[in-house]
Amino acid sequence: MQSGSARDRTPASHTAHEVDGGPWDGLRALCRPATLTGGLSELAWVGAHVLMYPLGTRTPALRPDPRHRPGHQPAAVRALFAADPLAARIPVVLVHGLIDNASIFSVMQRNLRRRGFAHVCAWNYSPLLTDVARGATDLGAHIERICQQTGHDRVHVVGHSLGGLIARYLVQRQGGDRRVESLVTLGTPHEGSVLAHVGPTPLIRQLRPGSPVLRELAEPAPAVRTPITAVYSDLDQMVLPTRSGRCDHPDLAARNVLVRGIGHMSLPRHRLVVDEVATTLAGRRRTPDASADRAAVA
């Protein structure tokens, strides 16, 4: 039998809707040691991110990792790509969230390269962006440039927070699934966030539950072929209720991964999340049947 601390550390994959617990369940969740530790870790990462923010204001040019040599990777890298050796070659595009930039992916970018991904780049959209659809169009143009530079027809996309919603809109509403091999979202408000009601800007209003943009994304999408993995946390301070970080659309091949005790800004940097992203992009995670709930290997 798995201990409580082990359960807190292990992400779980779900495809069915969760049943909300009672108020005492919520209180117990707040008092868990993993939750308290996660809150302190979140504060530390927020402070570090403030210091690193100026370093991410520019979108650097895509450069292949010179250390990547087919057949000469470390054993751990070879094991990751054993099922599909060519998966390491597919470019990975990282998309940040609201009022942020590429610096949020400093840890993930380095770790993905270390794990054997040859082309990893973070993309900055305009800080003056006012519309999710416009951001999706700009992301689509950036992906086209990446494909031209690398000679690949498709890319992986990892989006944090709003970045995941922009990428999903591209895939689902603008034909981006022809270019996006897989999409991983981290702390993305797929069903909106009640915190968006306090934001006065047009872009933040689009993140309110039931907004026109979210109603668009709820429409049928039978032809979309890009698999989506939505990583969400029970300690997400920005996506409320936290279950809104799930992607529950009947036409999408979506896999929802719950992680515990990890704050919103910590998601792109936490070891378990980086492990999940790397394993998913390497093709080692399959989207389960919609009727099943099963554990994900950390």
First-last CA distance in the chain: 17
And the tokens for 213? Answer: 């943009």
pLDDT, residue 285, reads: 72
Q: What would the pLDDT profile of 80-112 be if each residue is shown by its tens digit?
A: 887 788 888 999 999 999 988 999 999 999 999
Q: How many CB atoms lie within 10 A of CB 278?
A: 21
Say how far apart CA 269 and CA 20 lie, in whole Å: 28
pLDDT, residue 47, reads: 58
In contact, 228 and 253? CB cutoff 8 Å: yes
Residues 24-31: what's their mean pLDDT? 48
Backbone angles phi, psi at 186, to 5 degrees: -125, 115
Listed range (21-35, 148-162, 200-214) with the worst mean pLDDT: 21-35
> Binning pLDDT at 50, 70 and 90, where does residue 75 land?
confident
pLDDT, residue 87, reads: 87
And the tokens for 110? Answer: 């380095």
Question: Could you tell me which residues come within 8 angstroms of residue 116 by beta carbon, excluding any fewer than 6 positions away?
Answer: 68, 73, 77, 80, 81, 88
Residues 135-157: what's their mean pLDDT? 96
Query: Could you give the percent of the chain with pLDDT greater than 70?
Result: 71
And the tokens for 228? Answer: 């989506």
Residues 286-290: what's their mean pLDDT? 52
Q: Smallest Cα–Cα separation from 156: which of 113, 102, 120, 116? A: 120
Say how far apart CA 223 and CA 246 lie, in whole Å: 21
Question: Could you tell me which residues come within 8 angstroms of residue 267 by beta carbon, excluding any fewer than 6 positions away?
Answer: 160, 186, 187, 231, 233, 236, 259, 273
Say how far apart CA 45 and CA 24 lie, in whole Å: 29
Give the domain ranges of the chain. 24-246+262-288
Q: What would the pLDDT profile of 216-267 be if each residue is shown by its tens digit?
A: 999 999 999 999 999 999 999 999 999 999 999 999 999 999 999 999 999 9
Question: Could you tell me which residues come within 8 angstroms of residue 218 by beta carbon, excluding any fewer than 6 positions away?
Answer: 249
Longest C-alpha distance within the chain, in Å? 54
* 9-34 per-residue burial string, b: 16 or more CB within 10 A, e: under 16: bbbebbbeeeeeeeeeeeeebeebeb
Total-model pTM: 0.81
> Amino acid letter at 71?
G
- For residue 186, what are the β-bridge partners? 160, 231
CATH of span 24-246+262-288: 3.40.50.1820
Helix (H), strand (E) at residue 295: strand 294-295
Residues 116-128: what's their mean pLDDT? 93
- For residue 51, what are the β-bridge partners? none
pLDDT, residue 54, reads: 58
- Decide the pairing of beta strands 294-295 and 12-14: antiparallel
Say how far apart CA 283 and CA 218 lie, in whole Å: 27
* 221-238 per-residue burial string, b: 16 or more CB within 10 A, e: under 16: beebebbbbbbbbbbbeb
pLDDT, residue 31, reads: 59
